[in-house]
Structure 1
Amino acid sequence: MTGIDGEALMQRLSMATGDVRGRLTPNAPMDQITWFRTGGPAELLFQPTDEDDLKNFLQALPADIPVKVVGIGSNLLVRDGGIPGIVIRLSAKGFGQADAISDTRIKAGAAIPDKRLAAVALDAGIGGFHFYHGIPGAMGGALRMNAGANGVETRERVVEVYAIDRDGRKHTLTENEMGYAYRHSAASQDLIFTGALLEGYAEDRKTIEASMDAVQTHRETVQPIREKTGGSTFRNPDGTSAWKEVDKAGCRGLMIGGAQMSPMHCNFMINTGAATSHDLETLGETVRARVLEASGLRLEWEIKRVGIFKPGYEVQEFIGRML
């Protein structure tokens, strides 16, 4: 499948999706979803009503049509050519709830914002979730990338994860089966996470609130949270911090088009107002090249880049590297 033609894809699937209860949107503008506010359209965006709606849709979907899952768009860079095939975005109504089911356990949907999950834990007096107060994402992304902050990772809270595969089959995975590592899960990319059972510990609400306040103060002090950004651009290499390597390579404040490495926190890439996804990815690859030249380190992207390039605007890895 090449190019983006949501109306044609919608027509092709009209028979298979007749019983779908969720929303199907052809040529959906992804620049209204991503925090960078850039990128081309999703060929066909599907927002399922609930798990059964998602399961039935996937079972009816022809195997040759690609599927991509997105969350709230906080660490997502959609290329300017858009995303071919189906983009699935779980609805807040169907997948955005979280409930304390015991003194230490919370059952959460994959679409609940991390910050909201921290608030649910606070209300229930369950400790260990304060770090989510500072993560600008949703639970599904946290499960996929083992999101963490302030010395705590998602893997420490996971009891089991619920998912549906590309063929519409439901799965339950234990924390061990998720294969967690730093900012990584070994779980199949074929799986769409729909929720999780999480466990913390009983803690005084005032203590939890103080921890959450400390997280918020830290973010406001050192991160450009009011900019159009995707959070941390690169993963921390072993033994050092990505921002230190970016700074050492002279890339703090570096601009390409409307994209800039934040002067405030140089591992944050920002859209200063008129950036394209091409500007942002070119900037990221230029930084990777300069860090490689300066330190011999190959920084790895933490931001997820999806979709296809606009013809004539392809971006090569480590662009600008001096050979």
Structure 2
Amino acid sequence: MPTPRGKLTPQRPLADLTWLRVGGPADWLFQPADEADLADFLCALDPDIKVFPIGVGSNLIVRDGGLRAVVIRLGRGFNGIEVEGARVTAGAAALDAHVAKRAAEAGVDLTFLRTIPGAIGGAVRMNAGCYGSYTADVFVSARVVTREGEIVTLSADDLNFRYRQTDLPEGWVLISATLQGPEGDPETLAALMQAQLKKRDETQPTKDRTAGSTFRNPAGFSSTGDVTDTHELKAWKVIDDAGMRGARRGAAQMSPKHPNFLVNTGGATAADLEGLGEDVRKKVFQTSAIELEWEIMRVGEPAP
């Protein structure tokens, strides 16, 4: 391993770094001191060693056997937020909610980010969105460190935004993003975010241990069953219709409050959670011929 200025820890358990609190150890966990430290480390790292940026672990299942990789977690030094006119530049570790609030205070409408779990790096990588708005709609550019340690700037064309995905190459680490939103009155934007939070708390299991939405909304169907190019049909609806609201496997459960939320009720393993998700996918396919796609990323190896 190269010798960085940041913290490099061997065989680091990852469960406490994910919202679902499951997962085995990474071969190495690297917490870089700053951008230059990250770039130098990746430049010197054996190119055969895999690299996995973990973000804040909000949309992630790490399997019980852990990850054979260098896991990179950005922290202080990567969470700054700057506003200049209608443009907001945020470090990849800046929480979506913090970015939305800071932008609103400056009269910039990025309110859709307020209820999205996670940080800006993940929001860009997965084209996160809600209430009909997506990260792609406000994206200007992103700075990344390539697997070879080069710092480059990417455009929307480079990332090729699509529903819940981009073309960010494997092993590249997002370090910041610039977003541009429409102007708005700060008080009006604050009230809108409060209304969004109220609606979220009424409809989602916000007090439970979850990882956000489990499955993507099905592509190619409307809520009436017509074939379209939208994602109007909601995953929770087909899960509910399949009778899987509240379904369990071990200590894993599909939330009774919102059936597209996978919950660790206490002591679940990654295998319990992923296995229940696969049970749901199988039942939904049997009942509606719709093949749900995971929105939660699942990485690593099963327990030996």
Same fold (TM over 0.5): yes
SS in 1 for 2:18: coil
Structure 1 residue 214 displacement after superposition: 1.5
Distance 2:183 2:129 in 1: 20
Residue in structure 2 matching 1:59, options 43, 47, 57: 43
Q: 2:207 aligns with which of 217, 226, 239?
A: 226
Aligned to 1:297: 290
Give 1:213 shift. 0.8
Q: Which of 232, 255, 258 lines up with 1:262 in the alignment? A: 255
Does residue 280 of structure 1 match 2:273? yes
The sequence identity of aligned pairs, in percent, is 47
Alignment of 1:115-264 (within 5 A): 115-127=97-109, 129-238=110-219, 239=221, 240-264=233-257
**Which residue is equivalent to 2:26?**
42
* 8 Å CA contact 1:81, 1:307 repeated in 2: yes
Q: CA deviation at 1:85?
A: 2.0
Spell out, residue by residue over 1:156-181, the C-alpha distance to the aligned partner (whole angstroms, 9 max, x if none). Answer: 11111111111101111112221011
Q: Which residue pairs with 1:72 in the alignment? A: 56
> For residue 261 of structure 1, what is the amino acid of its counterpart?
M
- Secondary structure of 1:265 counterpart: coil
Which of 295, 299, 302 is equivalent to 1:306? 299
- Cross-structure match for 1:109: 91
SS at match of 1:28: strand
Hey, what's the Cα distance between the residues in 1 that align with 2:177 and 2:89?
Answer: 6
One-letter code of the match for 2:71?
A: V
| Distance apart, 1:207 and its partner CA | 1.1
Measure, in 2, the Cα distance between the counterparts of 1:85 and 1:133.
32
Structure 2 unaligned spans of 5+: 222-232
- Whether 1:85 and 2:69 are equivalent positions in the alignment is yes
* Amino acid corresponding to residue 31 of structure 1 in structure 2: A
- 1:77-102 deviation per Cα after TM superposition (whole angstroms, max 9, x unaligned): 000001112000011x110011102x
- Aligned 8 A contact 2:51 2:72 in 1: yes
SS at match of 2:77: helix
Structure-2 separation of matches of 1:78 and 1:177:
28
How far 1:210 moved relative to its partner? 1.4
| Cα distance in 1 between the residues matched to 2:300 and 2:168 | 21
CA displacement at 1:211 relative to structure 2: 1.3
RMSD: 0.9
1:243-301 CA-to-partner distances (Å, cap 9, x unmatched) read 11111111000000000000000000000111100100000001101111111111000
CA distance in 1, matches of 2:77, 2:276: 37
For the residue of structure 2 that corresponds to 1:231, the secondary structure is coil
Structure 1 portions without partners, runs of 5+: 1-12, 312-323
Helix, strand or coil at the partner of 2:196? helix
Q: 2:82 aligns with which of 99, 112, 117?
A: 99
Q: How does 1:19-34 map to 2 (within 5 A)?
A: 20-34=4-18
Letter paired with 2:107: G
For the 8 Å contact 1:70–1:88, the answer to whether it is kept is yes
Give 2:10's aligned amino acid.
P
- Aligned pair count reads 292
What is the CA deviation profile of residues 203-259 of structure 1, one whole-angstrom value per residue up to 9, with x for unaligned ones?
111111111011101110100011110110000002211111111111000000000
Normalising by structure 2, what TM-score? 0.94
